[in-house]
Amino acid sequence: GYWPAMDAFGMISPAGTKILWCDGNHSDHWALKRLIEAGNMEIVPNVFYMKRGSVYTLPDNRRVLFMGGANSTDKEVRKFGIDWFPEETIGWADMENLPEHRIDIVISHTCPNEFYNELVDRGDNDPSRAALSYILDKYKPPLWFFGHFHMHKKGKFEGTKWTALNMASTTGWWVKL
């Protein structure tokens, strides 16, 4: 199934649920590269890694663009090749294969600059946000979901409704599409 199966307590049940996810800044990008090269994106049954720029079509024909990546603000306390990888940020090479057709939903790890100021009062220089701003301008998707900030918050920028998803095991950490 494509829709989350729910148990009696309203929790996601693994049976019949397809989970699609994109990488974040603390993902093991070298292991993900090996997955891409092997062509096997199913990590465990019904759990799929969606590489940057990949598109998934939902049963209702909405197209979902995945664009993982973000800058780590805590690089100085992380170990190169263990929990910090230079591939963590979105580069322009990640943008080369963006589709030319309509996109209805974007799922990213961080957010475009246009949403950023409504989320945090601190600044960092994340080149991933500029790349996502390009995607926002190119597609003007009706919906956008991201999770980098570990909070649940909703907003709207022009015609795009966005949702910041919280950390797992808290409220507001997943969305049924």
Location of structure tokens 């909703």 = 154
pLDDT tens by residue, 27-83:
999 999 999 999 889 988 888 999 999 999 999 999 999 999 999 988 899 999 998
pLDDT tens by residue, 129-162:
999 999 999 999 999 999 998 889 999 999 999 9
Cβ atoms of residues 153 and 164 within 8 Å: yes
pLDDT confidence band for 122 (50 / 70 / 90): low
Neighbours of 83 (CB within 10 A): 15
Is the whole model's pTM more than 0.85, yes or no?
A: yes
pLDDT value at residue 13: 60
SS3 for 34? Answer: helix
What tokens were used for 163? 């949702």
Location of structure tokens 């910090």 = 84
Cβ atoms of residues 91 and 45 within 8 Å: no
Q: Which residues pair with 108 in a beta bridge?
A: 67
Query: E strands of the chain, at which residues?
Result: 5-6, 12-13, 19-21, 42-44, 47-49, 55-57, 63-67, 105-108, 143-146, 153-157, 160-164
